[in-house]
Structure 1
Amino acid sequence: MTWIYMIFFAVLIWLWFSKGTEAVKEITWKQFETEILAAGDAARLDVINNVRVEVYIREESLEKSVYKNIPKDVFSKKPVKGPHYYFNIGSVEVFHAQLQNAQENVPVAAQVSVTYKTRESWWQHFILLLPIGLLILFWIFILRGGFPGTKGKGSSVFNFGQSRARVLEKGTKSKVTFNDVAGLEEAKEEIHELITFLKSPGKYRQLGAKMPKGILLVGPPGTGKTLLAKAVAGEAGVPFFSLSGSEFVEMFVGVGAARMRDLFQKAKMKAPCIIFIDEIDTIGRARGKLQAFQTNDERESTLNQLLAELDGFDTDTGVIVLAATNRGDILDPALLRPGRFDRHIHLELPNLKEREAIFGVHIKPLRLSDDVHVASLAAQTPGFSGADIANICNEAALIAARREKQQVDKQDFMDAIDRVVGGLEKKSKIITPEEKRRVAYHEAGHVTASWFLEHAHPVLKVSIIPRGKSLGAAWYLPEEHQIITRSEFFDAICTALGGRAAEELAFGEVSSNALDDLEKATKQAYNMVINYGLSDTLRNISFYDSTGRTEQSIYKPYSEKTAQKIDDEVQEIIDDAYEKAIGILLDHREQLYNLAEALIKKEVLHRTDVEAILGNRKSKNHTF
């Protein structure tokens, strides 16, 4: 703020001086000689720097009407004391000669005296001092934390190496506890044992047990890794340091390693304590041969410092590192070995019971109607993470408030699920009747194909109301299991291609409406062949790399000949699935058309509506 005040005062000074110069009126030598000097009104003349002559008028002459335009003093309301006029001269000698000639006919009492003065310009001094002032302002800006990467009170360029970790001291209660974490019972057990060790290490040490150095939380986004860490901060009862992996990375070399040293130094001073590093893959990515060609890698030096801190000579520091990542497969093996991160806790997407528990946590602050059942909501959200469920509960409350309701009911939750899955409903999107008809047949093709496929998922709802980028959508209820057979993969591809097959049967040509379906079908087919070994040509072969090194490599793990075989096999799977979808729709063409016409009329059909048109669905796993 100092430099802002300095600029403000400089502007005020400039305005003051500029106002003063504007009060003095410029005249010519001829006007001075004929109007002022000849009338005997001139009191004195000041020659400034040999170039400017300032004219002062006698006090008794200021009463004349000729000088009525001279500015008045603000307080006394009298004319200012002067100078009142000025004119410029080219040479002092010439001016002196002209003045002598002009005063020959002027009485002695009316003749004026001349004073020569030297006046320095404040503006010239300001220009000379401006570079020095700017340099001073620059260093004030740097030292007070105005430099990029030094945000925060007390930050400056000289403490780049200090850690930015947020510290939760002992005795400070966090708002999040284990009661707020649902669906992660096994992970909570592991973490709870860590907290017990910190609170009462005696019963463990008497048996020879050592405190674990690190615990790594690995899982998909939204599964509760950061939430679990917040709960640890609330339950541990020891100092808790929290920061993100990206906070170690700066544009300056060596800053990350310095911050890592500073973090562990502060943590050791408050041991026993816990350090939580979120998104550790930012600095813990596996080191490869390609990095050997780089002159310097800031992330690698930060990782080396972390490895040294985790397993240095100080083996009993009382500091436990808790880290979280979505990409455990790309972490460096040296970071994952025992002695550094001793425990790896894998968090998966919640199952049915876990989703019920998560819904139970997030609907507590909501005012619910009697028709809302947690079990029903959990059954209709397979594959949803904890973050998705929290978003659904919040969206349902927002929708209910938008509709001026006093309670959140079942329909609000259904609309919230639809919005999270399919996107925002866009009833205002302009669709021609021909496009609407094509979309209806496309979605009817998906539903009809899945209805008569043995291993396909049963449909919950189908809609042709545009949502997000899609013009229509179908919601299914997949069965939760860990193993997927080849038949289930194949039927899923048939279901995805059912929309395009229906368009071909109904209109005789296909359209661009199947882009998303083709993408899903192609990815599933390639997964069958490349990763799971479910092809007829390349049997019992998988090119899947669990270490994640293949993603960083520019070479494929198979030859060009094998790549051709993979492409041929994928094309064959897609063709067979499309032919099967065409066959199913031909066998149930009338039901397909009836379903499409019902969609055109109602726009949204639920499972009971579909069952009334297509009949009871019988499959290996589902019977309605």
Structure 2
Amino acid sequence: MNNKGFNWFFPIAIIALLLFFGSNFLGGDAAKTIDEDGFFREMQAGKVQNIIIYKDIEKADVFLTKEAKSAMVSKTGKENNPFSALDMAPKADYSVKYGDLQLFLQKFEQIKATNPAIKTAKDYGTGKSPFADILISALIWIAILGLFYFLLFRKMGGGGGPGGQIFSIGKSKAKLFDEKERIQVTFKDVAGLEGAKEEVQEVVDFLKNSEKYTKLGGKIPKGVLLVGPPGTGKTLLAKAVAGEAKVPFFSLSGSDFVEMFVGVGASRVRDLFAQAKAKSPAIIFIDEIDAIGRARGKNNFSGGNDERENTLNQLLTEMDGFGTDTNVIVMAATNRADILDKALMRAGRFDRSIYVDLPELHERRQILDVHLKKIKLDDSVDRDFLAKQTPGFSGADIANLCNEAALIAARNSHEFVVKQDFLDAVDRIIGGLEKKNKAIKPSEKRRIAFHEAGHATVSWLTEHASPLLKVTIVPRGRSLGAAWYLPEERQITTTEQLLDEMCSLLGGRAAEQVALGDYSTGAQNDLERAYKQANSMVTIYGLSEKVGHVSYYDSSGQSDYSFSKPYSEKTAEVIDDEIKRFVSEQYDRAIRILTENKDKLDALANKLLEKEVIFREDLEEIFGKRAWDPELTEKPVTNTIPEKDLPEVLETPQIKEKEEESEIQAPESPTQL
């Protein structure tokens, strides 16, 4: 049962209310009929206020005075209809059927002339059919009850599920895609992610040809978990599954189970799986499952997570409990797999965990092909160049890059999107909007020039630092200047490489001291990154001789909820000393390099002040080619971080160069002033 049938409760309730109130309203207060003699007696007693005569139906309505009405109520003990205020016109107290109208009016005038105190008014009207009164009253009540039904039940239950009724609030909010409504995305629209696509294609094949696998004794997997950084295509992959699979596909977010009412989350889980089992074989996709799948018992001091835990318990039971022998596969996506409950991750629930990583060089090339189909490109655009230009970009970043390049081309009135538009788009996405009109004093501009020249000089003269691509002192975003590098994409990083990168980070402040004799607050970002790198070398990678080959990093994420450190106070002092030693040694090394090459530092800073933006060729004119640069041959595109779950402090934003003619295409993070 999918519980989506018509609810007869409300129509029956409306009919009952209509009969209860309508009977009293339509017939309970009908005017009492009297004869002519009775009317004239009431008139002579001064009880009649006015009379309305209907010539066409030989009838007259009699309306009593207030005193007469009060006396009649106290005598009979009957109250007026409480709904009389809803009437379009007041009701008559009596109804008179007269014979000859001329004789009736003659007697009426005779009584008034005999007794001048009688003030009864006379009026004429057009008679109405009683059926018309009944029809009008019925329509009024239907409109009132309809408005009552809409305001109370439809609005109160608007977020509750099918039908929008308050009693359906526990129904699932999943959107169903079946033969009536299909998603147009297929695996052809998912570029890259070859390994992940193979896994999910097999899941689709499980449901289409289950006998192929079960005849050998195998079981269809219960769940598939897509894990990876934001923007890598996890939800897009699920959409492709929905487009490829010829089975019902239920799609919803983890937050759809969350509601302010107790027990609603568990009820929606039960209803979701009931619908999926009714349409088996089927696929359920839960995006951002960490909203309800967070580990239980963590940081629950006030008991505020009980409702979420009840929802998770119900999900665990539905995925692998008694009576779950159905062809329903659960797909889920998250970028916080480390905080998911262990019971959710065990075999039998999520049997497969697919890691969707950032795309590599050839995958970025395929993603660019997908997003550039709808863009009018100039012949000068080299897709291989753009793919090399965007290491560390996710699929969402590349889509944003293509869109931003098209907007920049339109802003510049280009007929086609050219290569420079893409380079400007990269600069804007990573570095921020260029602020050419920002007022900077000449003394500050000179300091910024030496700061950025220091970064460029140290990185050029150290073997393992990323070679420079571009230096600018034009303010962009929150930075007053930036140096753009070519990072070598590698799988592991040695101690020498880390130290050279740290020395390059500290080159800006060292240049201020060498050239100007003091330093400013502009190196805050450099010092922060240098500290994080030194801290990681000591506490994570075990690269300190004093601390030893020990890593205090907890990849499971359990330490996030702990207030204690995994080492003693004595060890903490040693760690602090080692971090300070690493930073101090590299700062002294940067001072030494810049002092030995002060003339070249001055020349580079002056050229930077003159041009505001300099490129690799300008450095080669001053320093010459790098002796250890192996002709800048193309290197394999890999991650610079050795493990997929390293802490966020080691992740650096990727920055790209703006030079068209440069043969070096891979960018690196800017050194911000």
TM (norm. structure 1) is 0.76
Pair 1:443 & 2:452 matched: yes
Partner SS for 1:582 = helix
Whether the aligned pair in 1 keeps the contact of 2:298 and 2:561 (CA below 8 Å) is no
Q: Which fold has the larger relative contact order, with Cα–Cα distance below 8 Å and residues 6 or more apart in sequence?
A: 2
Contact preservation (8 Å) 2:539, 2:550? yes
Aligned to 1:417: 426
2:496 is aligned, of 455, 470, 487, to: 487
Within 1, Cα distance between the matches of 2:594 and 2:227?
44
Shift of 1:601: 1.2
Counterpart in the other structure of 1:581: 590
CA distance in 2, matches of 1:193, 1:618: 51
Q: For 1:154, what is the secondary structure of its paired residue?
A: helix
Report the CA distance shift for 1:209/1:432 in structure 2 as closer, same or farther (over 3 A).
Answer: same
Counterpart of 2:354 (choices 321, 345, 355) is 345
| 1:263 paired residue number | 272
Q: Is the 8 A contact 2:223 2:329 kept in 1?
A: yes
DSSP 3-state at the match of 1:144: helix
- Structure 2: distance between partners of 1:584 and 1:314: 72
Task: Give the alignment partner of residue 206 of structure 2, picking from 197, 205, 220.
Answer: 197
Find 1:405's aligned residue among 402, 414, 424: 414
In 2, the alpha carbon distance for the partners of 1:439 and 1:216 equals: 48
What letter corresponds to residue 553 of structure 1 in structure 2?
S
Is 1:382 the equivalent of 2:386?
no
1:600 and 1:292 map into 2 onto residues whose CA distance is 58
State the Cα distance separating 1:501 from its structure 2 match.
Answer: 1.0
Paired positions, count: 503
Matched residues in 2 for 1:152 and 1:407: separation?
Answer: 48
| Distance of 1:516 and 1:114 partners within structure 2 | 100
The answer to whether residue 162 in structure 2 is matched with residue 144 in structure 1 is: no
SS in 2 for 1:314: coil
Q: Work out which of the residue numbers 534, 537, 541 in structure 1 matches 2:546.
A: 537
Counterparts of 2:471 and 2:481 in 1: how far apart (Å)?
8
Equivalent residue in structure 1 for 2:483, among 471, 474, 478: 474
Moved more, 153-162 or 334-343: 153-162
Instruction: Report if the CA contact (8 A) 2:258-2:308 is conserved.
Output: yes
Kept in 2: contact 1:461–1:476 (CA 8 A): yes
The 1-side partners of 2:585 and 2:331 are apart by: 49
Q: Which residue of 1 aligns with 2:442?
A: 433
Q: 3-state SS of the aligned residue for 1:243?
A: strand
Shift in Å, 1:315: 3.5
Aligned with 1:437: secondary structure? helix
2:531 aligned residue = 522
Q: 1:220 aligns with which of 229, 234, 243?
A: 229
Name the CA distance, whole Å, in 2 between partners of 1:114 and 1:589: 121
1:566 is aligned to 575
Deviations 1:496-551 (A, max 9, x none): 11111111122211111112111111111111111111112111101111111111
Listed one character per residue, the Cα deviations across residues 73-98 of structure 1 (whole Å, up to 9, x for unaligned) are xxxxxxxxxxxxxxxxxxxxxxxxxx
Letter in 2 for 1:188: K
Shift of 1:170: 3.2
Paired residue type of 1:590: D
Distance change (3 Å), C-alpha of 1:539 and 1:145: same
List runs of 5+ in structure 2 lacking aligned partners: 1-64, 68-112, 122-143, 634-673
Residue type of the partner of 1:313?
F
For residues 434 and 309 of structure 1, what CA distance do their matches in structure 2 show? Answer: 68
**Residues 142/429 of structure 1: CA separation in 2 closer, same or farther (3 Å cut):** farther
1:253 equivalenced with 2:262 (yes/no): yes
From 347, 361, 364, give the equivalent of 1:355: 364
> Counterparts of 1:369 and 1:273 in 2: how far apart (Å)?
45
Q: State, as a whole percentage, how many aligned pairs show the same letter.
A: 59
Structure 1 residues 447-466: Cα deviation after superposition (integer angstroms, max 9, x where no partner): 11111111111112111111
- Secondary structure of 1:324's counterpart equals strand
Pair 1:598 & 2:607 matched: yes
Deviates more, 1:267-276 or 1:155-164: 155-164
The question of 1:238 aligning with 2:247 is answered: yes
Q: Could you tell me how far apart the structure 1 residues matched to 2:541 and 2:362 are? A: 29
Deviations for 1:541-566, whole angstroms, at most 9, x for unmatched residues? 01111111111222222222222221
Q: What letter is aligned with 1:315?
A: T
Residue type of the alignment partner of 2:381: V
Aligned partner of 1:334 in structure 2 is: 343
Q: Supply the distance in 2 between the matched residues of 1:299 and 1:390 (Cα, whole angstroms).
A: 35
After TM superposition, the structure 1 = structure 2 runs for residues 284-295 of structure 1, keeping only pairs within 5 Å, are 284-288=293-297, 290-291=299-300, 294=303
Alpha-carbon distance in 2 for matches of 1:360, 1:136? 55
3-state SS in 2 of match to 1:605: strand
Counterpart AA for 1:144: R
Indicate the SS of the match to 1:354: helix
Give the drift of 1:151.
7.2
Alignment partner of 1:391 out of 400, 419, 424: 400
**Contact 1:181-1:227 at 8 Å conserved across structures:** yes
Instruction: Give yes or no for contact 2:160–2:166 (8 Å, CA) kept in 1.
Output: no
Partners of 1:195 and 1:236 within 8 A in 2: yes
SS of the counterpart of 1:469? coil
Once residues 138 and 603 of structure 1 are traced to their aligned partners in structure 2, the CA distance between those partners, rounded to angstroms, is 70
Contact 1:455 1:620 in 2 (8 A): no
SS in 2 for 1:274: strand
What letter corresponds to residue 163 of structure 2 in structure 1?
G
Inter-partner Cα distance in structure 1 for 2:318 and 2:495 = 48
* Partner residue in 1 for 2:562: 553
Q: Which moved more, 1:352-361 or 1:334-343?
A: 352-361
Aligned pair in 2 of structure 1 residues 115, 395: CA closer, same or farther (>3 Å)? same
Match of 2:474 among 462, 465, 469: 465
2:279 is aligned with 1:279: no
Aligned AA (2:340) = L
What is the one-letter code of the residue matched to 1:185? E
Within a 5 Å distance, the mapping from 1:603-618 to structure 2 comes to 603-618=612-627
Structure 1 spans left out of the alignment, 5+ residues:
1-47, 51-108, 118-133
Question: How many Å separate the matches in 1 of 2:561 and 2:621?
Answer: 52
- Report the alpha carbon displacement of residue 316 of structure 1 after superposing the two structures with TM: 2.1
Aligned partners of 1:455 and 1:619 also within 8 Å: no
The residue that corresponds to 1:73 in the other structure is: none
Q: Is the 1:218–1:344 Cα contact (8 Å) retained in structure 2? A: yes
How many Å separate the matches in 2 of 1:249 and 1:544? 33
Q: Distance in 2 between matches of 1:307 and 1:285?
A: 12
Alpha-carbon separation, structure 2, partners of 1:138 and 1:468:
55
Shift of 1:115: 6.0
CA contact (8 A) 2:226 2:355 kept: yes
1:459–1:475 Cα contact (<8 Å) kept? yes
Deviations 1:332-381 (A, max 9, x none): 11111111100111111111111111111111111111111111111111
Distance 1:596-1:295 versus aligned 2 partners, 3 A rule: closer
Cα distance, 1:494 vs. partner? Answer: 1.1
* Aligned-partner Cα distance in 1 for 2:149–2:538: 63
Give the 3 Å change call, closer, same or farther, for CA 137–477 of structure 1 in structure 2. Answer: same
The AA in structure 2 aligned to 1:370 is D
C-alpha distance in 2, partners of 1:452/1:295?
A: 57
Q: Does 1:160 align with 2:174?
A: no
Contact 2:162–2:171 (8 Å) recurs in 1: no
Q: How does 1:13-28 map to 2 (within 5 A)?
A: none
Counterparts of 1:466 and 1:312 in 2: how far apart (Å)?
A: 60
Q: How far did residue 138 of structure 1 move?
A: 8.5
CA contact (8 A) 1:238 1:272 kept: yes
Deviation (angstroms), 1:113: 6.2
Distance change (3 Å), C-alpha of 1:529 and 1:506: same
**Shift in Å at residue 429 of structure 1?**
1.8
* CA pair 622-567 structure 1, distance change in 2 beyond 3 A: farther
Q: Tell me the residue number matched to 1:365.
A: 374
Following TM superposition, by how much is the alpha carbon of 1:146 offset from its aligned partner in structure 2, in angstroms?
Answer: 4.4
